[in-house]
Structure 1
């Protein structure tokens, strides 16, 4: 039956993608061509998407065999858990300093550092030594912080520098999320083939090759851009922190982003035990593929809906639906009800990521973009750490997810109120002038 659901979701995704292609062709503003923006826009889109998809491919290749490799080396569950926790802790602690370095020394340089550090992290997987593997996890946590901040910061800065239209940024983010889902499915299959043929460390070696290609593309194709390069990294961090708390809209955005992404990471760890409560025969690889197709479907849904609904309102709907999803998961003991609620959640994630990226681009100042984006990840990492270390039951953990989505809904509502207040002030100032 899961194959049927996979093909059904895939068919829906193909139909949505075809509609998106037709929809975008008919809705691209005519003046774009005459003003010569289209050529520059497509060039930026290619430059970013090729590099970004290589970056996430290197990340996805490693996912399926991290736990299995540690287990093969003879580490017990507690030691493996500590290694995973170290990765999240590293991202939370060092991520903020990484962000300020990107703003000061350049986003291109930090993306190259991502390639280097993640490659070293992959090399450590060849050694069945706990300390060496721990160093690899710490480097992996830092690399993850760069992946989820510096790449996007580079894109937004280049988009603004080239004076490109706003709709193009939304399109790039949507395509990036669609490609991310597709890459996840392909990477999982490639990792399986490599591990079966050459051993469980082979996917990590393949990741090094992809990271090398990605780094070469960045070096040859990307221009450098900065936040505020005049300030020292620690001074830049101080100013970013001040900017975060001085502007209410920014920290409210950080609250609902951290809450929702915490839920997403908790879900990654919990969907398997949640489904196994309802059935012991779960085809995990196929279920994961269904989730990734749903993620792609969500990115297409974002592209379609953003022409009719404001991005900030799409986020409100996403948070409300996510809360309902986990209430269903807690209250139902039927496999299909839980499975389809999870599919719906992944579709919501596909809407959330491009929506959030567009909102960040409008809200966060360019001078400290990478720093602030990494500050947002600090509570996210520690929330996930607490939940994982607590080792609660599935229903209790999903209850926490409901609570976090409610907090996201409330902080999002305050964000909207603050935005309305600012709009009124700007109108008043305009009328007085």
Structure 2
């Protein structure tokens, strides 16, 4: 393996370690033992869940070879291989993955509404059961059974990205913890679940399949075991909370109320648009980073690069924890810069294609332009690490509690549509066009973030005056 990869990986690791060890009182928030116990319990469950099912990065994807992406940290490298071992071709495997995203799009708002009405703890346990069933289907070579597994996986994804966060925010508020303490849980969850656990899970999956020679189904069996452990923790230590548990409000009414909330509150609508634009760009990047780094089939260490990306994401989440700890710094402000930086970082493939003469030599090691792009991609991954805890923080501020899970799944509808379109047409456009599209999306996200900040600033005095009037009325016993 070339020295360059080690230098990038080692440099990022050193920076992450330095940032974590150099935190001072300004970078930390004083909390209570009760909160720390609550936080650690949630982080344990979240890490187990995200280590198994996170649609964030593909491990080994190459559109030219037909590898379709999945973000399961423990299973990702083996899904396509498993399907191909069962004798299915590129088109059939593509349909399976599109079914997963389509399932998440179609059933997401329904399961989100059920989570708000029937209970978030119950929805989290349902996620575990649904995904365990999806893992079990991987033992069957029958196409229909595998299709059912992908549909179940799509439903589970909707629950993962709504029910857990909704439960956390509601339970945090119910227990009377400080609102700012939420940012600690958010940043730690991304640092551990989307970073450290991702790396460990990838190594563990490789150990099961390659070292122990247990076959490509082994990671799915391991995932089912860890999901069962997570579900046991949820059922034994979590209490139930709801959004709107009114008996006279049916599912359709709740669904309509969430849509009205998005349409009537510009802050919520802007937040949803920003999330869709960034995540759409992120998933497109997942599909494209391999061909961008090896346009002439250069030999690149996919697994090592994946681990490097995860270190960059950990760097971003570590920086986010510092920024969120400062009450004087608003998340709406610095996220404008994050989106601009991410937009520029995804322009590098276009810039290098214009400034650097492309090599026509097949194979070999990574090119000079590939090295530059890798640094840019690491920058983008750092922005991803900043994005997740920051968007979680904004969602906790702006999304109404009674329909939190429903609205969060509303946000994922345009995202899933976009991913399905990209999957279906991944070979239809040049790679530079795809990266240019992502860069434009991120630039638009920065503009919308600016608009959100302006609206939020305008509403703050009004909100504060209402609190003052309420406090004055209470003091006068009115």
Q: TM-score, normalised by structure 1?
A: 0.94
1:110 matched to 2:123: yes
What are the residue-to-residue correspondences of 1:121-132 with 2, within 5 Å? 121-132=134-145
Structure 2 residue corresponding to 1:43, chosen from 22, 27, 37: 37
Within the candidate set 389, 407, 415, 2:444 is matched to 407
SS in 1 for 2:139: coil
CA-based RMSD:
1.7
| Aligned match for 1:168, one of 178, 181, 200 | 181
1:295 and 1:346 in contact (8 A); partners too: yes
What's the offset of the Cα at 1:293?
0.5
CA shift at 1:291, angstroms? Answer: 0.1
Aligned to 1:373: 408
Within 2, Cα distance between the matches of 1:200 and 1:425?
57
1 CA distance for matches of 2:417 and 2:440? 16
CA-to-aligned-CA distance 1:159-194 (integer Å, 9 cap, x gap): 111111123110111100010210110111111111
Deviation of 1:429 (Å): 6.4
In structure 1, C-alpha distance between the alignment counterparts of 2:300 and 2:293, rounded to whole Å: 7
Q: State whether residues 191 and 314 of structure 2, in contact with CA within 8 Å, keep that contact through their aligned partners in structure 1.
A: yes
Aligned length: 424
Structure-2 change in CA distance of 1:427 and 1:113 (3 Å): closer
Stretch moving more, 403-412 or 48-57? 403-412
Comparing 360-369 and 322-331, the one that deviates more: 322-331
Structure 2 equivalent of residue 388 of structure 1: 423
Alignment partners' CA distance in 1, 2:154 and 2:468: 50
Q: Distance in 2 between matches of 1:41 and 1:359?
A: 21
Cα distance in 1 for residues equivalent to 2:160 and 2:377:
25
Question: Matched residues in 2 for 1:144 and 1:428: separation?
Answer: 40
Q: Hey, what's the Cα distance between the residues in 2 that align with 1:297 and 1:367?
A: 34
The residue number in structure 2 matching 1:54 is 48
* Residues 269 and 112 of structure 1, relative CA distance in 2, 3 Å threshold: same
Alignment of 1:19-418 (within 5 A): 19-20=22-23, 22-23=24-25, 27-29=28-30, 38-59=32-53, 60-180=73-193, 181-196=195-210, 197-230=213-246, 231-277=249-295, 280-306=298-324, 307=326, 309-333=329-353, 334-391=369-426, 392-418=429-455
Query: Post-superposition shift, 1:346?
Result: 0.4
- Give the Cα–Cα distance (whole angstroms) in 2 for the partners of residues 261 and 23 of structure 1: 33
Give ranges in structure 2 of 5+ residues lacking alignment.
54-72, 354-368, 473-478
**What's the offset of the Cα at 1:72?**
1.2
Is residue 333–residue 450 contact of structure 2 (8 Å, CA) maintained in 1? no
CA contact (8 A) 1:173 1:354 kept: yes
CA separation of 1:421 and 1:168: change in aligned 2, threshold 3 A: closer
Alignment check: 8 A CA contact 2:336 2:447 kept: no
| More deviation, 177-186/383-392 | 383-392
Q: Structure 1: how far apart are the matches of 2:124 and 2:28?
A: 33
For the residues of structure 2 that align with 1:312 and 1:172, how far apart are their CA atoms? 19
Cα distance in structure 1, aligned partners of 2:214 and 2:415: 36
- Once the two structures are TM-superposed, the CA of residue 232 in structure 1 deviates from its matched residue by 2.1
| TM-aligned CA deviation for residue 201 of structure 1 | 0.5
Counterpart CA distance in 1 for 2:465 and 2:228 is 53
Contact 1:279/1:335 (8 A) holds in 2 = no
Shift of 1:27: 4.4
Matched with 1:35 is: none
Question: Structure 1, residues 50-107: CA drift from partner, whole Å, max 9, x if none?
Answer: 1111111222212121111111111111111111111111111110101000000000
Deviation string, structure 1 residues 263-286 (Cα, Å, up to 9, x no partner): 111111111111112761110000
| Alpha-carbon distance between aligned partners in 2 of 1:366 and 1:430, rounded to the nearest angstrom | 19
Range 146-155 or range 306-315, more displaced: 306-315
8 Å CA contact 1:314, 1:355 repeated in 2:
no
Q: Are the aligned partners of 1:258 and 1:379 in contact in 2 as well (CA < 8 Å)?
A: yes
Q: Measure the CA separation in 2 of the matches of 1:23 and 1:338.
A: 36
Return the TM-score normalized by structure 2: 0.86
1:288 Cα deviation from its structure 2 partner: 0.3
Is the partner of 1:332 in helix, strand or coil?
helix
Measured after TM superposition, the shift of residue 341 of structure 1 is: 0.4
